[in-house]
Amino acid sequence: MKAILQRVLNAKVAVDGIEASSIQKGVLVFVGISVSDTEDDAEYIARKILNVRLFEDENQKRWAKSTSDLNLEIMCVSQFTLYHKLKGNKPDFHQAMGSKDSKVLYGRLLSILQTNYNPSLIKDGVFGAHMCVMLENDGPVTLEIDSNHKSSTNILPSQVKVE
């Protein structure tokens, strides 16, 4: 699973000219799902979305605070084109998971985020729709997170075992 995180001042998604979703300051996340992705990949990406430090702290120290530290909004947008290969000048998307299965896994990613963060701060586009995505970058700051390059750092609050 791939996630492109962009630090934004605001973002919105429209379908057929009608606004479907919007956020203020936070992170816009484009999510691509490959044919080999599992729920473990969704959990890894969710951890990173919530914990990666993209923001300054109160002393203007860079890269000190995460979206969840600052209680900011998150908007996820499904984007199968993140899994492409070029055949000459034509993109090939055979590495992207099919729509039916990827919709389930994308929904699982959203569910994991909502379980481990304030659900009212998690927004998303319209899965499978042709969307107009508008955003105001902050920085710009853009990171690519790939679950194929997993590290075991960071755990989700729901994974903490209390004894």
Catalytic residues: 81
Q: Which residues of 84-93 are buried (b: 16+ CB within 10 A; e: fewer)?
A: eeeeeeeeee
C-alpha to C-alpha distance for 125 and 77, rounded to whole angstroms: 5
> If 0-12 CB within 10 Å is exposed, 13-18 middle and 19+ buried, where does residue 12 land?
buried
**3 state DSSP class of 112:** helix
Q: How far is 119 from 55, CA to CA, in rounded Å? A: 21
Which two structure tokens, joined as six digits, stand for 66? 């995460």
CA–CA gap between residue 137 and residue 48 (Å, rounded): 19
Give Cα separations from 27 to 11, 100, 141, 149, 152 (angstroms): 9, 26, 10, 21, 22
